[in-house]
Amino acid sequence: MDLDEKIIKAMEKIENSPVPLHPFELFGIEIGYGWYGLLLPIIKEIRLYNEKHPDSKIYINQIKEKWGRLEIYTSGSPEYIFKMILKAGYESEHICELCGARGKNTKINEWYMTLCDEHIKAKQKAKYDFNLEDQLYKDSLNIENYGWKEYKHEKDGISNE
């Protein structure tokens, strides 16, 4: 789904909702898969907290990348969850948002991102061509040697090349 489609869906949700909605309810999780390892323990802890405290639940308002860092905004959290969120934000500055490898916060194409060296090179070389970026990244890792195979969909099934 591209950005225009996301915005249109968000606008439809706003127009059809009887109550105001938070960005999380509109856009979902707005980070790359590389940071999910930082995010999932926090979500698990919030769920456990909410089960134990049904009268004072924590609500997630937004999960996003900002200035190359993981940001999680909640309706309020006890100190231990707040510290988990702070720690995850700090650690995200050293983990590639796209793949989870060791990364560094850098400015690429006028945007701050935390990426590994391979994703930095691919982004710089591809500029804004995402298909080229993916191919450059796969080529830099020589990914075929790790069991990755291209699959093509055919009308009678799926076959690999």
Which pLDDT tens digit goes with each residue over 89-138? Answer: 999 999 999 999 999 999 987 889 999 998 898 888 888 787 888 787 77
Cβ neighbours of residue 43 closer than 8 Å, sequence gap 6 or more: 60
Residue 134 tokens read as 């993916």
Tell whether 2 and 36 lie within a shared domain: yes
pLDDT at 139: 77
What is the extent of the structural domain holding 126? 96-144
Residue type present at position 115: L
Nearest alpha carbon to residue 30 among 55, 53, 1? 1
Same domain membership, residue 3 and residue 81? yes
Are 80 and 3 in a shared domain?
yes
